[in-house]
Amino acid sequence: MIQVLVSCVMWALVASLLVLRRRRADHSITYASTIIALAMTLNIDPVYLALDPLFGGTNFITLAGDMLLMTGLYFLGRGVMRAGDYRPRLVRIAISLPTLLISLVCVATMFSFADRGHTTTTFMSDHGDQPLVGAYSITVFTYCGIVLAAMLALAIGQCRVTQGLLRVPALLLAIGASCGIALCATVVFMDVTHMIGALDLMRLVDAAYGPLTLATFLFLCAGFVAQPATRSVLRRFRGVRTDAFLMQLDPIWRNATKLRPGLSKLHPGSEVFEDPEAKLYRHVVEIRDAMIDPRVVFEISPTDLALLERAENHLLVRGTTSVMSTRFTTTDLDEALK
Protein backbone atom coordinates (compact mmCIF):
# COMPACT_ATOMS: atom_id res chain seq x y z
CA MET A 1 0.00 0.00 0.00
CA ILE A 2 2.84 2.40 0.86
CA GLN A 3 4.40 1.80 -2.57
CA VAL A 4 1.11 2.64 -4.29
CA LEU A 5 0.68 5.85 -2.26
CA VAL A 6 4.27 6.96 -2.85
CA SER A 7 3.97 6.24 -6.59
CA CYS A 8 0.76 8.25 -6.77
CA VAL A 9 2.43 11.14 -4.93
CA MET A 10 5.42 11.06 -7.28
CA TRP A 11 3.34 10.92 -10.47
CA ALA A 12 1.20 13.77 -9.09
CA LEU A 13 4.43 15.74 -8.60
CA VAL A 14 5.48 15.02 -12.20
CA ALA A 15 2.09 16.22 -13.49
CA SER A 16 2.28 19.36 -11.33
CA LEU A 17 5.80 20.19 -12.50
CA LEU A 18 4.81 19.72 -16.14
CA VAL A 19 2.15 22.40 -15.61
CA LEU A 20 4.00 24.78 -13.29
CA ARG A 21 7.48 24.58 -14.83
CA ARG A 22 6.59 24.15 -18.51
CA ARG A 23 8.07 27.53 -19.46
CA ARG A 24 11.37 26.97 -17.68
CA ALA A 25 14.43 26.02 -19.71
CA ASP A 26 15.74 23.73 -16.97
CA HIS A 27 13.59 20.60 -16.61
CA SER A 28 16.04 18.60 -14.47
CA ILE A 29 13.63 18.50 -11.50
CA THR A 30 10.86 17.16 -13.74
CA TYR A 31 13.15 14.51 -15.23
CA ALA A 32 14.40 13.53 -11.78
CA SER A 33 10.85 13.25 -10.43
CA THR A 34 9.88 11.07 -13.40
CA ILE A 35 12.82 8.72 -12.76
CA ILE A 36 11.92 8.42 -9.05
CA ALA A 37 8.24 7.92 -9.88
CA LEU A 38 9.25 5.10 -12.23
CA ALA A 39 11.44 3.57 -9.51
CA MET A 40 8.56 3.67 -7.02
CA THR A 41 6.18 2.17 -9.59
CA LEU A 42 8.51 -0.80 -10.05
CA ASN A 43 8.13 -1.51 -6.32
CA ILE A 44 4.35 -2.02 -6.60
CA ASP A 45 3.79 -5.76 -6.17
CA PRO A 46 1.67 -6.48 -9.30
CA VAL A 47 4.05 -4.44 -11.48
CA TYR A 48 7.05 -6.18 -9.95
CA LEU A 49 5.54 -9.64 -10.40
CA ALA A 50 4.66 -8.86 -14.02
CA LEU A 51 8.05 -7.46 -15.03
CA ASP A 52 10.60 -9.51 -13.10
CA PRO A 53 9.92 -12.81 -14.93
CA LEU A 54 10.60 -10.97 -18.20
CA PHE A 55 14.16 -10.29 -16.98
CA GLY A 56 15.02 -13.80 -15.79
CA GLY A 57 12.90 -14.03 -12.64
CA THR A 58 15.87 -13.39 -10.32
CA ASN A 59 14.68 -10.13 -8.75
CA PHE A 60 16.53 -7.99 -11.26
CA ILE A 61 13.73 -5.40 -10.91
CA THR A 62 14.90 -4.77 -7.34
CA LEU A 63 18.26 -3.63 -8.69
CA ALA A 64 16.63 -1.63 -11.49
CA GLY A 65 14.30 0.16 -9.05
CA ASP A 66 17.10 0.98 -6.59
CA MET A 67 19.42 2.26 -9.33
CA LEU A 68 16.64 4.44 -10.72
CA LEU A 69 15.98 5.80 -7.22
CA MET A 70 19.67 6.66 -6.75
CA THR A 71 19.86 8.29 -10.17
CA GLY A 72 16.65 10.24 -9.59
CA LEU A 73 17.86 11.51 -6.22
CA TYR A 74 21.15 12.57 -7.84
CA PHE A 75 19.34 14.71 -10.41
CA LEU A 76 16.96 16.00 -7.73
CA GLY A 77 19.95 17.07 -5.64
CA ARG A 78 21.52 18.76 -8.69
CA GLY A 79 18.27 20.63 -9.26
CA VAL A 80 18.20 21.86 -5.65
CA MET A 81 21.87 22.86 -5.87
CA ARG A 82 21.25 24.94 -9.00
CA ALA A 83 18.42 26.82 -7.27
CA GLY A 84 20.78 28.69 -4.93
CA ASP A 85 24.30 30.06 -4.60
CA TYR A 86 25.08 28.11 -1.42
CA ARG A 87 27.14 25.14 -2.65
CA PRO A 88 29.67 23.95 -0.06
CA ARG A 89 32.41 21.62 -1.26
CA LEU A 90 31.14 18.55 0.62
CA VAL A 91 27.69 19.02 -0.92
CA ARG A 92 29.21 19.29 -4.42
CA ILE A 93 31.16 16.08 -3.80
CA ALA A 94 28.08 14.25 -2.48
CA ILE A 95 25.94 15.32 -5.41
CA SER A 96 28.52 14.62 -8.10
CA LEU A 97 28.54 12.26 -11.06
CA PRO A 98 31.63 10.30 -9.89
CA THR A 99 29.98 9.61 -6.51
CA LEU A 100 26.84 8.38 -8.27
CA LEU A 101 28.78 6.19 -10.73
CA ILE A 102 30.93 4.62 -8.01
CA SER A 103 27.82 3.86 -5.95
CA LEU A 104 25.99 2.36 -8.93
CA VAL A 105 28.94 0.13 -9.82
CA CYS A 106 29.22 -1.05 -6.19
CA VAL A 107 25.53 -1.97 -5.85
CA ALA A 108 25.42 -3.64 -9.28
CA THR A 109 28.49 -5.73 -8.43
CA MET A 110 27.21 -6.83 -5.01
CA PHE A 111 23.76 -7.59 -6.41
CA SER A 112 25.14 -9.69 -9.27
CA PHE A 113 27.13 -11.94 -6.88
CA ALA A 114 24.33 -12.36 -4.29
CA ASP A 115 21.99 -15.33 -4.10
CA ARG A 116 18.83 -13.62 -5.37
CA GLY A 117 16.52 -16.62 -5.57
CA HIS A 118 13.37 -16.38 -7.65
CA THR A 119 10.91 -13.53 -8.11
CA THR A 120 9.62 -12.29 -4.76
CA THR A 121 8.09 -9.05 -3.50
CA THR A 122 9.86 -9.50 -0.14
CA PHE A 123 13.44 -9.63 -1.43
CA MET A 124 15.12 -8.09 1.62
CA SER A 125 13.04 -10.13 4.07
CA ASP A 126 13.93 -13.33 2.21
CA HIS A 127 17.59 -12.66 1.42
CA GLY A 128 18.62 -9.79 3.70
CA ASP A 129 20.44 -12.11 6.09
CA GLN A 130 23.17 -12.57 3.46
CA PRO A 131 26.11 -10.19 4.13
CA LEU A 132 26.32 -9.39 0.40
CA VAL A 133 22.62 -8.49 0.18
CA GLY A 134 22.83 -6.53 3.43
CA ALA A 135 25.88 -4.64 2.12
CA TYR A 136 24.03 -3.98 -1.13
CA SER A 137 21.07 -2.40 0.70
CA ILE A 138 23.35 -0.45 3.05
CA THR A 139 25.21 1.00 0.04
CA VAL A 140 21.97 2.02 -1.68
CA PHE A 141 20.54 3.77 1.37
CA THR A 142 23.85 5.24 2.48
CA TYR A 143 24.13 6.94 -0.91
CA CYS A 144 20.50 8.11 -0.69
CA GLY A 145 21.14 9.38 2.86
CA ILE A 146 24.24 11.31 1.75
CA VAL A 147 22.36 12.98 -1.12
CA LEU A 148 19.44 13.80 1.18
CA ALA A 149 21.85 15.25 3.76
CA ALA A 150 23.31 17.44 1.01
CA MET A 151 19.79 18.51 0.02
CA LEU A 152 19.05 19.31 3.68
CA ALA A 153 22.15 21.52 3.86
CA LEU A 154 21.08 23.32 0.65
CA ALA A 155 17.51 23.75 1.91
CA ILE A 156 18.77 25.24 5.21
CA GLY A 157 21.02 27.56 3.20
CA GLN A 158 18.04 28.69 1.12
CA CYS A 159 16.01 29.26 4.31
CA ARG A 160 18.68 31.64 5.54
CA VAL A 161 18.75 33.80 2.40
CA THR A 162 15.00 33.93 1.74
CA GLN A 163 12.10 35.38 3.66
CA GLY A 164 8.35 35.35 3.76
CA LEU A 165 6.53 33.09 1.35
CA LEU A 166 9.75 32.17 -0.47
CA ARG A 167 10.95 30.37 2.66
CA VAL A 168 8.09 27.85 2.59
CA PRO A 169 9.48 25.59 -0.22
CA ALA A 170 12.89 25.43 1.48
CA LEU A 171 11.27 24.53 4.81
CA LEU A 172 9.23 21.76 3.18
CA LEU A 173 12.35 20.41 1.45
CA ALA A 174 14.26 20.52 4.74
CA ILE A 175 11.53 18.54 6.53
CA GLY A 176 11.35 16.03 3.65
CA ALA A 177 15.12 15.60 3.56
CA SER A 178 15.21 15.13 7.36
CA CYS A 179 12.54 12.42 7.15
CA GLY A 180 14.50 10.84 4.29
CA ILE A 181 17.70 10.77 6.33
CA ALA A 182 15.81 9.15 9.23
CA LEU A 183 14.36 6.63 6.76
CA CYS A 184 17.80 5.74 5.40
CA ALA A 185 19.18 5.35 8.92
CA THR A 186 16.23 3.09 9.77
CA VAL A 187 16.85 0.87 6.75
CA VAL A 188 20.56 0.62 7.44
CA PHE A 189 19.79 -0.31 11.06
CA MET A 190 17.34 -2.98 9.85
CA ASP A 191 19.96 -4.35 7.43
CA VAL A 192 22.55 -4.66 10.20
CA THR A 193 20.15 -6.29 12.67
CA HIS A 194 18.98 -8.70 9.96
CA MET A 195 22.54 -9.75 9.14
CA ILE A 196 23.46 -10.35 12.79
CA GLY A 197 20.20 -12.18 13.50
CA ALA A 198 18.62 -9.62 15.86
CA LEU A 199 15.23 -10.08 14.24
CA ASP A 200 13.15 -8.81 17.18
CA LEU A 201 15.04 -5.52 17.07
CA MET A 202 14.64 -5.36 13.29
CA ARG A 203 10.87 -5.85 13.50
CA LEU A 204 10.65 -3.19 16.22
CA VAL A 205 12.31 -0.58 13.99
CA ASP A 206 10.38 -1.76 10.93
CA ALA A 207 7.26 0.03 12.26
CA ALA A 208 8.86 3.37 11.39
CA TYR A 209 9.64 2.42 7.78
CA GLY A 210 6.18 3.06 6.27
CA PRO A 211 5.40 6.41 7.95
CA LEU A 212 8.90 7.73 7.25
CA THR A 213 8.70 6.69 3.58
CA LEU A 214 5.38 8.43 3.12
CA ALA A 215 6.45 11.56 5.03
CA THR A 216 9.69 11.81 3.04
CA PHE A 217 8.03 11.80 -0.36
CA LEU A 218 5.06 13.94 0.72
CA PHE A 219 7.25 16.76 2.08
CA LEU A 220 9.80 16.58 -0.74
CA CYS A 221 7.03 16.67 -3.35
CA ALA A 222 5.31 19.54 -1.53
CA GLY A 223 8.60 21.44 -1.50
CA PHE A 224 9.20 20.98 -5.22
CA VAL A 225 5.61 21.95 -6.10
CA ALA A 226 5.76 24.94 -3.74
CA GLN A 227 8.83 26.42 -5.46
CA PRO A 228 7.20 27.32 -8.80
CA ALA A 229 3.83 27.88 -7.13
CA THR A 230 5.12 30.53 -4.70
CA ARG A 231 7.08 32.27 -7.46
CA SER A 232 3.95 32.35 -9.59
CA VAL A 233 1.89 33.81 -6.72
CA LEU A 234 4.55 36.44 -5.98
CA ARG A 235 4.80 37.37 -9.67
CA ARG A 236 1.05 37.89 -9.79
CA PHE A 237 1.09 40.01 -6.61
CA ARG A 238 3.96 42.05 -7.99
CA GLY A 239 2.19 42.50 -11.33
CA VAL A 240 -0.89 43.83 -9.52
CA ARG A 241 1.23 46.27 -7.50
CA THR A 242 3.11 47.38 -10.63
CA ASP A 243 -0.16 48.09 -12.44
CA ALA A 244 -1.44 50.00 -9.41
CA PHE A 245 1.69 52.18 -9.27
CA LEU A 246 1.46 52.84 -13.02
CA MET A 247 -2.14 53.98 -12.65
CA GLN A 248 -1.39 56.17 -9.61
CA LEU A 249 1.72 57.76 -11.16
CA ASP A 250 0.15 58.33 -14.57
CA PRO A 251 -1.20 61.88 -13.85
CA ILE A 252 2.14 62.94 -12.33
CA TRP A 253 4.08 61.46 -15.24
CA ARG A 254 1.84 63.18 -17.80
CA ASN A 255 2.39 66.57 -16.14
CA ALA A 256 6.14 65.92 -15.97
CA THR A 257 6.47 64.93 -19.63
CA LYS A 258 4.44 67.95 -20.76
CA LEU A 259 7.27 70.11 -19.46
CA ARG A 260 10.11 67.73 -20.25
CA PRO A 261 9.25 65.03 -22.82
CA GLY A 262 11.06 61.75 -22.16
CA LEU A 263 11.90 58.77 -24.31
CA SER A 264 8.54 57.11 -23.63
CA LYS A 265 6.77 60.19 -25.01
CA LEU A 266 9.03 60.33 -28.04
CA HIS A 267 8.58 56.58 -28.71
CA PRO A 268 5.09 55.78 -27.35
CA GLY A 269 4.66 52.62 -29.44
CA SER A 270 8.03 51.08 -28.62
CA GLU A 271 8.07 47.42 -27.55
CA VAL A 272 10.62 48.37 -24.88
CA PHE A 273 7.79 49.86 -22.80
CA GLU A 274 5.35 46.98 -23.17
CA ASP A 275 6.74 45.32 -20.05
CA PRO A 276 4.94 46.91 -17.04
CA GLU A 277 8.11 46.89 -14.91
CA ALA A 278 10.10 48.69 -17.64
CA LYS A 279 7.24 51.11 -18.20
CA LEU A 280 7.01 51.93 -14.48
CA TYR A 281 10.77 52.36 -14.27
CA ARG A 282 10.69 54.78 -17.19
CA HIS A 283 7.85 56.75 -15.61
CA VAL A 284 9.81 57.09 -12.37
CA VAL A 285 12.96 58.17 -14.23
CA GLU A 286 11.11 60.75 -16.32
CA ILE A 287 9.35 62.22 -13.29
CA ARG A 288 12.69 62.48 -11.47
CA ASP A 289 14.33 64.03 -14.56
CA ALA A 290 11.63 66.72 -14.70
CA MET A 291 12.07 67.44 -10.98
CA ILE A 292 15.83 68.03 -11.25
CA ASP A 293 16.04 69.64 -14.71
CA PRO A 294 16.94 73.34 -14.12
CA ARG A 295 15.41 74.30 -17.48
CA VAL A 296 11.86 73.55 -16.25
CA VAL A 297 9.94 74.10 -13.02
CA PHE A 298 8.20 70.93 -11.90
CA GLU A 299 7.33 70.22 -8.27
CA ILE A 300 5.13 67.56 -6.74
CA SER A 301 3.29 67.41 -3.42
CA PRO A 302 4.66 65.48 -0.43
CA THR A 303 1.96 62.85 -0.99
CA ASP A 304 3.01 62.37 -4.61
CA LEU A 305 6.66 62.28 -3.56
CA ALA A 306 5.88 59.52 -1.06
CA LEU A 307 4.07 57.61 -3.83
CA LEU A 308 7.06 58.04 -6.13
CA GLU A 309 9.42 56.71 -3.46
CA ARG A 310 7.18 53.70 -2.84
CA ALA A 311 7.26 52.95 -6.57
CA GLU A 312 11.07 53.20 -6.53
CA ASN A 313 11.29 50.84 -3.57
CA HIS A 314 8.92 48.45 -5.34
CA LEU A 315 11.27 48.37 -8.34
CA LEU A 316 14.34 47.94 -6.16
CA VAL A 317 13.01 44.95 -4.19
CA ARG A 318 15.42 42.13 -4.88
CA GLY A 319 14.87 38.42 -5.32
CA THR A 320 11.08 38.35 -5.73
CA THR A 321 10.76 38.99 -9.40
CA SER A 322 12.60 39.48 -12.60
CA VAL A 323 12.82 43.22 -12.07
CA MET A 324 16.59 43.09 -12.41
CA SER A 325 16.26 41.71 -15.89
CA THR A 326 13.66 44.28 -16.94
CA ARG A 327 15.24 47.34 -15.43
CA PHE A 328 16.72 49.58 -18.09
CA THR A 329 19.11 52.44 -17.77
CA THR A 330 18.70 55.54 -19.87
CA THR A 331 21.61 54.37 -22.00
CA ASP A 332 19.97 50.96 -22.52
CA LEU A 333 16.78 52.62 -23.67
CA ASP A 334 18.62 54.98 -25.97
CA GLU A 335 20.33 52.00 -27.56
CA ALA A 336 17.09 50.04 -27.79
CA LEU A 337 15.19 52.89 -29.39
CA LYS A 338 17.75 53.61 -32.05
Distance CA 308, CA 100 (A): 53
- The letter for the amino acid at 328 is F
**Model pLDDT for residues 205-235, shown as the tens digit of each residue:** 888 988 998 899 899 888 888 877 888 888 8
Distance CA 168, CA 151 (A): 15
Would you say 280 and 288 are in contact if contact means Cβ atoms under 8 Å apart?
A: no
**Model pLDDT for residues 243-291, shown as the tens digit of each residue:** 898 999 989 988 888 887 766 666 655 555 678 888 888 888 888 888 8
3-state secondary structure of 235: helix
Strand (E) or helix (H) holding 327: none
- The letter for the amino acid at 61 is I
For CATH 1.20.1070, list the domain ranges present in the chain.
1-232
Determine the topology of domain 1-232 in CATH. Rhopdopsin 7-helix transmembrane proteins (1.20.1070)
**Model pLDDT for residues 96-147, shown as the tens digit of each residue:** 899 899 999 999 999 999 888 888 888 888 888 899 999 999 999 999 998 8
Residue 50, pLDDT score: 92
303 vs 22, higher pLDDT: 303
